[in-house]
Amino acid sequence: AQTVTQSQPEMSVQEAETVTLSCTYDTSENNYYLFWYKQPPSRQMILVIRQEAYKQQNATENRFSVNFQKAAKSFSLKISDSQLGDTAMYFCAFMKHGGAGGTSYGKLTFGQGTILTVHP
């Protein structure tokens, strides 16, 4: 079974600054996907960024980038030029690829979440 751990329950950052959220995971799978989802208060969960484990290059999406360390099983999210609208709960999530030798139907395993507050 896979586990995802987010060791920072809460983080805060000043507007326009940079913040990094940590995530570690445990799996015996070799092919998988990692995601960061954002859940604003009383709003739906939306995908921020995605990383495929077989790709060495770190994913970037505008102000969001990841530091993916496969050997260390670490997947951190960096938010540059933080904006007030970035205030939300952030979840790290794991999905195995499945295929030969295993099955996967896209089930996500989530971490406990990190509450990020951006201060003006």
Partner 1 sequence: DTGVSQDPRHKITKRGQNVTFRCDPISEHNRLYWYRQTLGQGPEFLTYFQNEAQLEKSRLLSDRFSAERPKGSFSTLEIQRTEQGDSAMYLCASSLDGGAGFSSGNTIYFGEGSWLTVV
- Gap between the Cα atoms of 100 and 97, Å rounded: 9
Q: Which residue, 27 or 109, is less far from partner 1 as judged by CB?
A: 109
* Dihedral Cα 10, 13, 18, 23, nearest 10 deg: 0
- Are residues 21 and 38 in contact, defined by beta-carbon separation less than 8 angstroms? no
- Gap between the Cα atoms of 58 and 51, Å rounded: 7
User: For partner 1, which residue of 36, 75, 88, 113 counts as binding (CB under 8 A)?
Assistant: 113
Total residues binding partner 1 (CB under 8 A): 28
Q: Does 111 bind partner 1 (CB under 8 A)?
A: yes
Q: Does 45 bind partner 1 (CB under 8 A)?
A: yes
User: For partner 1, which residue of 58, 65, 108, 117 counts as binding (CB under 8 A)?
Assistant: 108
Cross-strand pairs, 91: 37
User: For partner 1, which residue of 20, 33, 64, 65 counts as binding (CB under 8 A)?
Assistant: 33
- Judged by DSSP in three states, 92 sits in strand
Q: Does 88 bind partner 1 (CB under 8 A)?
A: no
Where on the chain is the footprint of partner 1 (CB under 8 A)? 4, 33, 37, 43-47, 50, 52, 91, 93, 95-99, 103-113
